[in-house]
């Protein structure tokens, strides 16, 4: 019996925090020893981070060093799950002694509005701030080199983001679901990422992949792919033009963009990834270029307002069964090359559209507008030569700043 009791105590202690120390403001911080007991990391109370969700609350100030039983140690890390689901925390100040923030350290701190990061911070862990929907600002310092997977996922309160030149690794979906972003910039000295041409996006240089965009993004012609979840849940994005050099649109790239009403996909795009435009509930039309080959599962699923799809590919692209939602497309019109109407009608998926008609000569002949062109437009005119402030449905005439002009089609 004594042996069993002793083993139980050892097991509990092994999972618990090592020490707890009361701050000058009367709040208790829990720590574990790290680096052979020479330093401390902030942790959670007890054996499971979800057991005491009220362990930290309101404004938390983490000290640079802690004296315990006559020995002073520096606080150098915020441990995994340290503040996980602490829904009462509103602000956190992290001292300059801290160099790492662990995985899920502040995940789902749903009332967290401000965080002051250490000037010596080098890494931000996976999901470190995921689900912190009220976090309104974060300054990533010049010492940070890596930002983990989904580190700021769902931080919809963020409006601006600046990536310093020190950052060399940004994990998948690091800022996905940051729906309130209106400004994205990368330091010009960064060797791995950029925001070329003031595009309001993060682009991975080596692959020319756009990995994060916002409602004010203008996709440069040099981009060759749109990354997974690059625009997920982006608020205020009303239309998007995929420029000519893009070959693929990633998984969930524009999913949940509830304001998105139209998309123009260039002739060089060959693949639209799974759920790329899923749940774009306001999308009324999409124009698909003639180079399209593969439309993946649920690419346009949940696009309940879809009225018109313009597909310029003469050979019906391979499209997975649930790429479109049957209930909605039976009321929509599919516009295809005149010579291909019967092929589309006979297709297992394309044939489910309520109406399939040939593209008009006008729809076939009018060229698409690239994203870069929008920056050099001088005037926009309707087909009857009336000047307008924005594109009108149908044929528009655009005049560039160099005096040239061309017709474009707005659907």
Q: 158-216, pLDDT tens digit by residue?
A: 999 999 999 999 999 999 999 999 999 999 999 999 999 999 999 999 999 999 999 99
Kindly tell me if the per-residue pLDDT of 394 is higher than 80: no
Kindly tell me if the per-residue pLDDT of 373 is higher than 80: no
Q: Which residue spans of the chain are classified as CATH 3.80.10.10?
A: 78-365
pLDDT tens, residue by residue, 102-144: 999 999 999 999 999 999 999 999 999 999 999 999 999 999 9
Q: How far is CA 362 from each of CA 310, 313, 342, 380, rounded to the nearest angstrom? A: 12, 16, 21, 18
pLDDT at 411: 55
pLDDT tens, residue by residue, 332-357: 999 999 999 999 999 999 999 999 99
Domain 78-365 = CATH 3.80.10.10? yes
pLDDT at 375: 52
Q: What pTM was computed for the model?
A: 0.83
Sheet hosting strand 377-382, strand order edge to edge:
387-388, 377-382, 394-400, 405-410
Kindly tell me if the per-residue pLDDT of 87 is higher than 60: yes
Kindly tell me if the per-residue pLDDT of 401 is higher than 90: no
- Is residue 157 within 8 A of residue 135, CB to CB? The reply is yes
- Is residue 178 within 8 A of residue 161, CB to CB? The reply is yes
pLDDT at 368: 53
pLDDT tens, residue by residue, 270-290: 999 999 999 999 999 999 999
Give the residue from 203, 213, 201 showing the smallest Cα distance to 254: 213
Kindly tell me if the per-residue pLDDT of 367 is higher than 90: no
Q: How large a percentage of the chain has pLDDT more than 90?
A: 77
pLDDT at 210: 98
Mean pLDDT over 385-407 rounds to 64
Q: How far is CA 101 from each of CA 79, 177, 320, 402, rounded to the nearest angstrom? A: 6, 21, 41, 51
Kindly tell me if the per-residue pLDDT of 404 is higher than 80: no
- Is residue 97 within 8 A of residue 120, CB to CB? The reply is yes
pLDDT at 370: 52
């Amino acid at each position: 019996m004594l042996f069993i009791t002793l083993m139980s105590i050892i097991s509990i202690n092994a999972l618990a925090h090592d020490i707890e120390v009361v701050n000058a403001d009367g709040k208790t911080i829990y720590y574990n020893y790290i680096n052979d007991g020479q330093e401390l990391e902030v942790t959670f109370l007890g054996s499971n981070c979800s057991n005491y969700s009220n362990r930290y609350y309101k404004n938390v100030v983490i000290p640079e060093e802690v004296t315990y039983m006559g020995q002073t140690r520096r606080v150098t890390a915020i441990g995994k799950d340290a503040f996980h689901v602490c829904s009462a925390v509103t602000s956190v100040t992290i001292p300059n002694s801290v160099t790492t923030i662990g995985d899920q350290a502040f995940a789902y701190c749903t009332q967290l509005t401000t965080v002051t990061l250490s000037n010596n911070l080098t890494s931000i862990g996976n999901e470190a701030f995921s689900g912190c929907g009220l976090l309104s600002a974060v300054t990533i310092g010049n010492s940070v080199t890596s930002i983990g997977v989904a580190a700021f996922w769902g931080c919809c309160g963020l409006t601006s983001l600046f990536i310093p030149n020190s950052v060399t690794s940004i994990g998948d979906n690091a800022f996905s679901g940051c729906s309130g972003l209106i400004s994205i910039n990368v330091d010009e000295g960064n060797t791995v990422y950029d925001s070329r041409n003031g595009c309001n996006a993060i682009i991975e240089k080596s692959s020319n992949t756009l990995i994060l965009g916002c409602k004010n993004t203008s996709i440069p012609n040099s981009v060759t792919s749109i990354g997974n979840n690059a625009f997920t849940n982006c608020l205020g994005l009303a239309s998007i033009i995929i420029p000519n050099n893009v070959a693929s649109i990633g998984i969930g790239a524009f999913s949940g963009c509830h304001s998105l009403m139209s998309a123009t996909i260039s002739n060089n795009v060959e693949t639209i990834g799974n759920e790329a435009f899923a749940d774009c509930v306001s999308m009324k039309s999409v124009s698909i270029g003639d180079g399209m080959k593969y439309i993946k599962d649920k690419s346009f699923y949940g696009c309940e307002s879809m009225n018109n799809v313009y597909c310029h590919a003469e050979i019906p692209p391979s499209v997975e069964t649930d790429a479109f939602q049957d209930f909605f497309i039976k009321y929509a019109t599919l516009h295809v090359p005149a010579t291909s109407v019967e092929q589309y009608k006979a297709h297992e998926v394309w044939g489910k559209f309520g109406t399939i008609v040939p593209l008009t000569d006008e729809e076939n002949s009018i060229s698409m507008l690239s994203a870069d062109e929008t920056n050099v437009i001088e005037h926009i005119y309707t087909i009857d030569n009336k000047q307008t402030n924005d594109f009108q449905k149908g044929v528009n005439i655009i005049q560039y700043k160099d005096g040239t002009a061309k017709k474009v089609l707005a659907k």
